[in-house]
Amino acid sequence: MRNIYFDHAAATRIDPRVLKRMAPYLTKRFGNPSSLYSLGREARAAIELSRKKVARVLNVNSEEIIFTGSGTESDNLAIFGVAKAYSDKGRHIIVSKIEHKAVLEAAKKLEKEGFEITYLKVDPKGLVDLREFKKALRPDTILVSIMYANNEIGVIQPISQIAEIIQKFRIGRSIFHPFFHTDACQAAGALSLDIGKLGVDLLTFSGSKIYGPKGVGCLYKAKNIKLEPMIVGGDQENNFRAGTENSALIVGLAEALELAEKLREKESKRLMHLRDYLIKNILERVPKCRLNGHPLKRLPNNINISIAGVEGESLALMLDKHGIFVSTGSACASFDLAPSHVLLAIGLTPEAAYGSLRLTLGRNTTKMEVDRVLKILPKIVYKLRNISPSPFARPS
C-alpha cells in the first residue's frame, strides 16, 4: 500500500520536469557563474534566465529578484535588512501574531536591540483586524510584515487591502515608509503573486513548497528599497547576498515557480474541491471535532482540525503506522515543547492546540487517498479516545 502524503505544507517532492532542468547544473554545467570562460558564462546565463522567469511570474523587473538559500533566509533578509538600513527613519515594526517563526524570531531579536514591535492580534478565524492595523501605524513605522497565507491554518490575509492602507498612510504623511513585506512561501502556487495587484514592496517564497528543490529561496525587493545584507563577501546578487550561486537550485526554483503558476488555476480548483470534501466528511464522521481557521479565505489544500480528547503526536504516529503522513500543532511534537503559537493566537485553548492535526493536500493527491484517510482517521480517534480520560473531570 503506497504511502499517503498529506503534509505538502512541510515539503513537496521535486517535480520530474524540474529535476530534468536542474540536472545538467549538477553535472556537466558546474561552472561558477562569475567565471570569465564559457563554462561560467553558461551558468550565469541560466541564472539570469531563471531570474527573468521569476520576475515574469511576479510581474516585476529582473533586477528586483534576489536569490537566497531558503524562505527563512529571505524573511530574515527582508526584516533585518530593512530595519538596519532605515533605523534612522524609525524603529517601529508591525507584524502579525501568526507570522512564521522566521519573521517572529527576527522581530524578537530586533526588539532586544531596541526596536519596538507591534504584534497584531488576529480574530478567531485568523484574519488580521484592519482597524487595529490602521491604529498601529505610526510615522516611525518602517516595516510591516504580514504573511500572505498561513502555513498552519491556511488563512489568506487581505494583502491588497493592507497595501492600500499603507499607501494612503504614506501619501498622507508624504513619507516613503513603512515598507510592506509578505511571506508568500505557502501562497506560491496557490494564489496569484502579481506584485502589481498585491501592492507589496517585498515578497518571500521558496522552492521547497512548490515542487522545487529545498535550499533555495527568493526575495522580491522593490527597486529603490535599501537593504543591509546579512551575508557578505563577494558581490553576488547585486551585493545583497554573497556566496557562489547554486545554479542548479536557482534553475529548479524558477522552473518550479513557472510550472506552479501554469497549473495554479486548475490545481487550486481541484484541491479546493478535495479539501472541502475532506473537511465536510471529517466533521461528520468524527464527533467533537472543529475546523481551525477561516472556512473560505483559506488555502485550497489546507485542512487544520482540533479533535477533542486526543493528543496530536499520538494521532500522527498512529496515522503513520497506516502510511498516512500529517503534522500536528501539539507541543509534544515540537522540539521546544510549546504548542503552536498560531493556534493559541486564534484563541484555541492549549488542549485544543494539543489535539490538532494539519493535513495539506498536493499535486498527486487523489480522491481515493482522501477516502482512505476518511476511513482510517475516525477509527484511530475512536481508539485513542478509548484510552483517554474523559471528560477530563476528576473522578468522584
Partner 1 sequence: MPKKESKKNNGVFILKERIQETDDVAILKFFPQGGKNFSFRPGQFITVCFTDNRCYGQGKPYSISNCPGDEFLAIAVKEIGRFSGALHNLKIGEKVKITKPGGYFYPDEQMKNLVFLAGGIGIAPFYSIINDCFKRGVGGKNLALFYSSKTEADNVFSKELNELAEKWRGFKIIYILTRQEKDRRNGNREFQRLNAKILKKYLKNLNNKHYFICGSIEFVNDLWKELKNNKVKEDNIRVESFY
Partner 2 sequence: MKIKYKYKYKEESWVYSRIVKNHFFHPRNVLLDDAHYKADGIGVAGSPTCGDMMIVWIKIDKKSRKIKECKWRTFGCASAIASTSMMSVMVTEKGGMDIKKAINLKPQQILERLGGLPDRKFHCSVLGDIALREAINNYSKKQPKKYAKKRK
Q: Which residues bind partner 1 (CB under 8 A)?
A: 331, 336, 338-339, 344, 350
Residue closer to partner 2, measured from CB, 272 or 384: 384
Q: Which stretch binds partner 2 (CB under 8 A): 197-205, 211-219, 247-255, 328-336?
A: 328-336
349 in contact with partner 2 (CB under 8 A):
yes
| 372 to 391: interface string for partner 2, x by CB under 8 A | --------------xxxxx-
Contacted by 338, from partner 2, partner 1, none: CB < 5 to 8 Å by type = partner 1
Q: Return the residue of 15, 261, 311, 369 that touches partner 2, per CB under 8 A.
A: 311
Of 341, 340, 337, 324, nearest to 381 by C-alpha is: 324
User: Could you tell me the CA-to-CA distances from 125 to 134, 237, 342 in Å, in that order?
Assistant: 19, 39, 11
Let me know if 332 is a catalytic residue.
yes
Bond before 178 cis per omega within 30 degrees = yes
**CB–CB of 342/186 below 8 Å?**
no
Q: Return the residue of 125, 231, 350, 374 that touches partner 2, per CB under 8 A.
A: 350
Report residue 81 as a C-alpha cell: 535588512
| 20 to 59: interface string for partner 2, x by CB under 8 A | x--x------------------------------------
Residue closer to partner 1, measured from CB, 217 or 339: 339
Of 232, 238, 205, 223, nearest to 48 by C-alpha is: 238
- Quick one: angle between helices 367-386 and 247-285, nearest 10? 60
Give min distance, CB of 290 to partner 2, in A: 15
384 DSSP assignment:
H
79 in contact with partner 2 (CB under 8 A):
no
Residue closer to partner 1, measured from CB, 69 or 329: 329
Residue closer to partner 2, measured from CB, 125 or 290: 290
Contacted by 123, from partner 2, partner 1, none: CB < 5 to 8 Å by type = none
Residue closer to partner 1, measured from CB, 175 or 344: 344
Q: Which residues pair with 306 in a beta bridge?
A: 290, 356
Beta-strand (E) ranges in 90-241? Answer: 92-96, 116-120, 141-145, 179-183, 202-206, 217-221
Report residue 240 as a C-alpha cell: 545583497
Of 155, 205, 146, 149, nearest to 178 by C-alpha is: 146
Of 328, 358, 360, nearest to 8 by C-alpha is: 360
Q: Provide the b/e sequence for 305-339 (b: ≥16 CB within 10 Å).
A: bbbbbbbbebbbebbeebebbbbbbbbebeeeeeb
17 in contact with partner 2 (CB under 8 A):
no
Contacted by 223, from partner 2, partner 1, none: CB < 5 to 8 Å by type = none
Give min distance, CB of 390 to partner 2, in A: 8
Give min distance, CB of 327 to partner 2, in A: 13
DSSP 66-116: EEES-HHHHHHHHHHHHHHHTTTT--EEEEETT--HHHHHHHHHHHHTT-E
Give min distance, CB of 307 to partner 1, in A: 19
Q: Interaction with partner 2 in 258-297: which residues (CB under 8 A)?
A: none
The most distant pair of C-alpha atoms in the chain lies apart, rounded to whole Å, by: 82
Contacted by 37, from partner 1, partner 2, none: CB < 5 to 8 Å by type = none
Q: Judged by CB under 8 A, how many residues of this single chain contact partner 2? A: 31
User: What is the distance between the alpha carbons of residues 116 and 108, in angstroms, rounded to a whole number?
Assistant: 9
Which residues contribute to the site for partner 2 (CB under 8 A)?
A: 19-20, 23, 309-314, 317-318, 321, 330-333, 335, 337, 339, 349-351, 354, 386-390, 392, 394-395
